[in-house]
Amino acid sequence: MAAALKLKANPFTAAALELKANAVTAAFRLQLPAKQWLKPCGIRCAAATPSKSYSITLLPGDGIGPEVISVAKNVLNFAGSLEGIEFSFQEMPMGGSALDLIGVPLPEETLSAAKQSDAVLLGAIGGYKWDRNEKHLKPETGLLQLRAGLEVFANLRPTTVFPQLVDASTLKKEVAEGVDLMVVRELTGGIYFGKPRGFDTDDTGEEIGYNTEVYASHEVDRIARVAFETARKRYGKLCSVDKANVLEASMLWRKRVTAIATEYPDVELSHMYVDNAAMQLIRDPKQFDTIVTNNIFGDILSDEASMITGSIGMLPSASLGAKGPGLFEPIHGSAPDIAGQDKANPLATILSAAMLLKYGLGEENAAKRIENAVLDALNKGFRTGDIFSAGNKLVGCKEMGEEILKSVESQVIATV
Ligand SMILES: NC(=O)c1ccc[n+]([C@@H]2O[C@H](COP(=O)([O-])OP(=O)(O)OC[C@H]3O[C@@H](n4cnc5c(N)ncnc54)[C@H](O)[C@@H]3O)[C@@H](O)[C@H]2O)c1
């Protein structure tokens, strides 16, 4: 009762102080959902000797957000502990839940905690309840404020067709099978932010709406470097997508990407016009490794690419800046139609946690453990409703999380 009152009075500091005062205990208490996780020797031994520690801000948000974050947190914590990594988690309100609690979609305390941490893991925000709010009081406004506040200009969206789920794709099996590509989208510039923009009337008095596609050299250079680094960590091929046959902003884009390529002689660079890229993604998606493109083309192409996999519940994302913490989140929304029913697929958030380890903290081994565990659980036939097909085992969000933990554990036993 006392704890509940304390939280209501000050939801930020109470939670934060509890974790700060006893970060280790809190981390372990939070990570272990079932008693059996305390038993295996591999877990106990690995978790007892952490050599690195990171602080993670968790933003569960709304709808299925808290359900998938709870599962992903356990997986992140467990996989990390096996690599000698200790996490301290700080959970903060965001989106509709923050509106209900504080009256704004992104409280200052939430942004400040996010900025001070090593990485941010977000569930999802939004819901019917807040749909009619004024723009500045919409959960989605909080998300844009968070991305701007963290200055995350590079959005990484992998599209991986898991062999076990190839039939979920709307493309033919032979086209979808083996697709493994990454779209690197510029997130804070281009036509979505360019000025002038607005409504006016032209010489004839007819109403017009207009926007400006504009990029400065430094904006292209920094996203190009992220893309080259990403391609280097993958298969060494980068395709820059633009409309340089028509648009001046794209001509500059191509010039700068070509210039930055000299810093990455080990990465093979190609260029493609966006209309062709949209076609090639459907015709032969396997030709792509890493794609880099501007804000609007990336918005469209990454959604197109994501559908090759068949389910929105499988797709993670990472948003990175020049410095400071990255933001990691599934690409799906809060799915109010299935919220609170233990039906959500947590794999997109679990894979976002793997991206957090790989791209946010440089902890590739721990990331690999999570990626392997996801493959293992799928191999064993565990499926949430969105990816279910006959002959597999239908599980809820929590059970899928437990199966992933078991798969992470079995890797330990194999390697100890
Ligand atoms: N980044 C974000 O937080 C984000 C992104 C998109 C939409 N939204 C918000 O989410 C709310 C709902 O939007 P929507 O319905 O258009 O998109 P949505 O992604 O929430 O849901 C679309 C469909 O996919 C299903 N789905 C989504 N995630 C799933 C998962 N993990 N497992 C199983 N099924 C899943 C849903 O049940 C629904 O049928 C809106 O308020 C919207 O603004 C938030």
At 1 the pLDDT is 35
pLDDT at 51: 85
Average pLDDT over residues 75-99: 97
Non-local CB neighbours of 182 within 8 Å, separated by 6+ positions? 156, 157, 158, 159, 230, 231, 234, 289, 290, 291
Residue count (the chain)? 416
Residue 247: Cβ-neighbour burial (10 angstroms; 0-12, 13-18, 19+): middle
The pLDDT of residue 45 is above 80? no
Q: Give 61-115 as a 3 state SS string.
A: ECCCHHHHHHHHHHHHHHHHHCCCEEEEEEECCCCHHHHHHCCCCCCHHHHHHHH
In 3D space, the residue among 17, 31, 21, 16 whose CA is nearest the CA of residue 86 turns out to be: 31
> If you take atom 25 of ligand 1, which residue's CA is the nearest one?
335
Return the pLDDT at 32. 31
The mean pLDDT value for 382-406 works out to: 95
Is pLDDT at 20 greater than 50 in this prediction?
no
What DSSP string runs through 328-357?
Answer: EEESS---TTTTTTT----HHHHHHHHHII
Q: Contact 123/91 with Cβ under 8 angstroms?
A: no
In the reported structure, the alpha carbon of residue 51 is separated from the centroid of ligand 1 by a whole-number distance in angstroms of 38
- Classify residue 233 by its DSSP letter: H
Q: Which pLDDT tens digit goes with each residue over 250-280?
A: 999 999 999 999 999 999 999 999 999 999 9
pLDDT, residue 49, reads: 67
Q: Has residue 2 got a pLDDT over 90?
A: no
Confidence of residue 23 (pLDDT cuts 50, 70, 90): very low
The pLDDT confidence band at residue 413, using thresholds 50, 70 and 90, is: low
CA atoms within 13 A on the CB side of 175: 16
**What is the structure's pLDDT at 412?**
61
pLDDT tens digit sequence for 217-249: 999 999 999 999 999 989 999 999 999 999 999
**CB distance 314 to 164 below 8 Å:** no
So what's the pLDDT on residue 99? 98
Which range has the worst mean pLDDT, 11-20, 111-120, 385-394? 11-20
CB of 215 within 8 A of CB of 255? no
Q: Ligand 1 centroid vs 127 CA: distance in angstroms?
A: 9
- For the cut 90, the answer to whether the pLDDT of residue 41 exceeds it is no
Cβ-contact 93, 113 below 8 angstroms: no
* Mean pLDDT, rounded, for 172-178: 95
pLDDT tens digits for range 116-125: 999 999 999 9
Phi, psi (5° rounding) for residue 132?
-95, 5
Assess whether the C-beta atom of 404 lies below 6 angstroms from ligand 1.
Answer: no
Q: How far is the CA of 144 from the centre of ligand 1 (A)?
A: 16
DSSP for 351-395?
Answer: HHHHHIIIIIS--HHHHHHHHHHHHHHHHTTEE-GGG--TTSEE-
- pLDDT for the residue 43: 38
* Predicted local confidence at residue 8, as pLDDT: 33
Q: Categorize the per-residue pLDDT at 401 as very low, low, confident or very high, splitting at 50, 70 and 90.
A: very high
Q: What pLDDT, on the 0 to 100 scale, is given for residue 170?
A: 86
Per the CB < 8 A criterion, the answer to whether 152 and 319 are in contact is yes
pLDDT tens digits, residue range 311-352?
889 999 999 998 999 999 999 999 999 999 999 999 999 999
The residue whose CB lies within 8 Å of the most ligand 1 atoms, and thus the one to mutate among 332, 395, 398, 400, is 332
Beta-bridge partners for 239: 270, 291
Instruction: Express each pLDDT in 177-222 by its tens digit.
Output: 999 999 999 998 999 889 999 999 999 999 999 999 999 999 999 9
Distance 386 CA to ligand 1 centre (A): 12
Instruction: Answer with the residue of higher pLDDT: 87 or 51.
Output: 87
Query: Does the beta carbon of 386 sit less than 6 angstroms from any atom of ligand 1?
Result: yes
Q: How far is CA 108 from each of CA 104, 200, 386, rounded to the nearest angstrom?
A: 9, 36, 36
Which residue would you say has higher pLDDT here, 151 or 46? Answer: 151
How far, in Å, CA of 48 to CA of 281, rounded? Answer: 47
Ligand 1 atom having least distance to the Cα of 125: 3
- Average pLDDT on 280-306 reads 95
The DSSP bridge partners found for residue 158 are 182
Query: Cβ distance 159 to 176 under 8 Å?
Result: no
- Ligand 1 pocket test: which of 59, 122, 128, 334 has the largest number of ligand atoms within 8 Å of its C-beta? 334
Choice among 165-179, 214-228, 280-294 with the minimum mean pLDDT: 165-179
Question: Among 82, 84, 40, which residue's Cα sits nearest to residue 369?
Answer: 82
Q: Give the confidence band of 410 by pLDDT, cuts at 50, 70, 90.
A: confident
Residue 13: is its pLDDT beyond 70?
no
**Atom nearest to 123 CA in ligand 1:** 3
